[in-house]
Amino acid sequence: MTRTVLVNAGPWLPVPPDGYGGIENVVAALVPELRRRGIRVLLATVGRSTLPADEHLTCFPGGQFEVLQRPYNQVSGVAHAHLHAVVRALRDRHDIDLVHDHVEVVGLAVLAAAALAPGAPPVLHTLHWDLRKHADFYSGLDAGPRVRVNGVSASQLDRAPEALRRHSVGYVHLATPLAIGADRRPPAEKAGHAVVVGRITAGKGQHLAARLAHEGGFDLVLAGPVGPYRQPADLTEAGAAAAANPDVRYWQDEVRPLVDGIRVRWIGTVAGQERNALVASARVALFPLQWEEPGGTAVVEALALGTPAVGLSRGCLPELVEHGRTGWLATSLDDLAALIPAAGQIDPRECREQAARRFTPAVMAARYADLYEQLISGFAPRAAVPADRAASIRAVGPAG
Ligand code: UDP
């Protein structure tokens, strides 16, 4: 039987994203594989998304990532408007078998309420963030029998409050399109540099990577946005007002003093082939984590591109990186510094092979397809939808 799943990627960025975009990269990996398995996908996203799906549901013409970094009381309507469009589709359509949601907190709260309606489809909500965040919501969660959550690593779920864990169906490691055929990719010529690819934010530890580069005498390239600013020129243009953003303050206070443009460079957000070439030619991808990294898309991408991951042994890193085979894990910064020169002992082929085996969209989609079936079959069949509701489907669901 053909299943129809509403995949809610949220209002932040188009799918696939143009450069930075964790959830959007994962959704871009997942949707084609679901469709290959015969699952129909209604993708709730923003209008500039180009990922093929059976249908698209959009509330905003473009990504709201920059807008969503303004103070909460100015922008709380954005995520709610997006969720409102999703709920209207659920109310007015009769063909959605399950909702797979990726919108932190508001998605779970709103869809848990929507799932109470008679005949509403079950909801699988993927948790993408550190679960100590939003403890006041998660620790009192009582989402009812039709809502389940999954994590993106075992270590992430270990940190979940008990009430959230009661809703859990386990974890599914993240995958990236880069893992497809990674073991057949020809080895890239290695340059001397190290990379950190990701949002410039304290948890990713870019200031520590920069310090290690100066002390260890190697070149470091930092790629990624600072808050809503994708490129150095955007940040300069924003002037003093930009400092209202905590990631901008981190950049200004901790990272920028170490960025000399020679030994350590910040190149802004990189995308597509440019990002791939930057990572594939790096000697090492650094993860001097200062938080419990929940999912680690940049880790699995580095491996897929044949670049060893070297970082602090926190969060999901020990699940993704095999110490001594695909990278090095350290428990202190001093140990990390000592391991960086040993990156050359890691065989890039082993990194690519593990990525091609463990972190492929097909592996991820197979897990999700199983979970979908479990959730769908575990609930009472949906009630028949009255004809007048079926009529409004066409008004709500934009064509794909
Ligand atoms: N990314 C990218 N270009 C950049 C910075 C990041 O393509 O300049 C991608 C990166 O490859 C990864 C994703 O954005 O797939 C998520 O990055 P990060 O780990 O910072 O995500 P988060 O912690 O926000 O999920």
Which of 13, 20, 247, when mutated, tests ligand 1's pocket best, judged by the most ligand atoms within 8 Å of its CB? 20
- At residue 187, the pLDDT reads 86
CB 258 within 8 A of CB 264: yes
pTM (whole model) above 0.85: yes
Enumerate residues lining ligand 1, CB below 6 A.
Answer: 19-22, 25, 197-199, 223-224, 269-271, 275, 297-298, 301
Quick one: pLDDT at residue 398? 29
pLDDT of 343: 95
301, 62, 106, 363 alpha-carbon torsion, rounded to 10° = -30
State residue 379's pLDDT score: 57
Say what the pLDDT of residue 378 is: 85
**CA–CA separation, 328 and 364 (whole Å):** 25
Cα distance between residue 249 and residue 261, in whole Å: 19
Note the pLDDT of residue 133: 94
- Which residue has the CA at smallest separation from atom 19 of ligand 1? 198
Q: How far is the CA of 96 from the centre of ligand 1 (A)?
A: 31
For residue 70, what is the enclosing H or E element?
Answer: none
pLDDT value of position 186: 87
Q: How many residues does the chain have?
A: 400
User: Prior bond to 14 cis, omega within 30?
Assistant: no
* Structure tokens, 153: 């690593």
Beta pairing partners, 150: 126
Ligand 1 centroid to Cα of residue 180, in Å, is: 18
Query: Ligand 1 atom closest to Cα of 269?
Result: 8
Residue nearest to atom 22 of ligand 1 (CA): 22
Position 385, amino acid: V
Tell me the longest C-alpha to C-alpha distance in the chain.
Answer: 70
Smallest CA separation from ligand 1 atom 1, residue: 20
Q: How many CA atoms lie within 13 A of 224 on its CB side?
A: 23
Residues 6+ away with beta carbon under 8 Å from 345: none
How many C-beta neighbours within 10 Å does residue 385 have? 15
Which protein residue's CA is at the shortest distance from atom 9 of ligand 1?
20
| Neighbouring residues of 91: CB distance < 8 A, sequence distance ≥ 6 | 114, 117, 389
Q: Tell me, in angstroms, the distance from the centre of ligand 1 to residue 217's CA.
A: 26
Instruction: Give the number of the atom of ligand 1 that is nearest the alpha carbon of residue 203.
Output: 23
Per-residue pLDDT 10s for the chain (400 aa) are 899 999 999 999 999 999 999 999 999 999 999 999 999 999 999 999 999 999 999 999 999 999 999 999 999 999 999 999 999 999 999 899 999 999 999 999 999 999 999 999 999 999 999 999 999 999 999 999 999 999 999 999 999 999 999 999 999 999 989 999 999 988 899 999 999 999 999 999 999 999 999 999 999 999 999 999 999 999 999 999 999 999 999 999 999 999 999 999 999 999 999 999 999 999 999 999 999 999 999 999 999 999 999 999 999 999 999 999 999 999 999 999 999 999 999 999 999 999 999 999 999 999 999 999 999 998 534 434 444 433 332 223 222 2
Ligand 1 atom with the shortest distance to the CA of 22: 16
Rounded Cα distance between 352 and 179, Å, is 8
Cα of 236 from ligand 1 centre, angstroms? 22
Q: How many angstroms separate the alpha carbon of residue 47 from the centre of ligand 1?
A: 21
- Find residue 65's DSSP bridge partners: none
Cβ burial of 257 (10 Å; 0-12, 13-18, 19+) is exposed
Q: Report the C-alpha gap between 302 and 187 in whole angstroms.
A: 13
Residue 72, classified by CB atoms within 10 Å of its CB into exposed (0-12), middle (13-18) or buried (19+), is: exposed
**Which stretches of the chain are DSSP H helices?**
22-36, 72-92, 106-114, 135-138, 154-158, 162-165, 206-216, 232-238, 246-250, 272-280, 297-304, 317-320, 333-339, 348-358, 361-377, 387-396
**Residue to mutate, 130, 197, 199, ligand 1, most ligand atoms under 8 Å from C-beta:** 197
Q: What are phi and psi of 128, to 5 degrees?
A: -105, -10
What backbone phi and psi angles, to 5 degrees, belong to 237? -65, -35
Residue 152 pLDDT: 98
From 12, 24, 176, 297, mutation site for ligand 1 pocket: most ligand atoms within 8 A of C-beta: 297
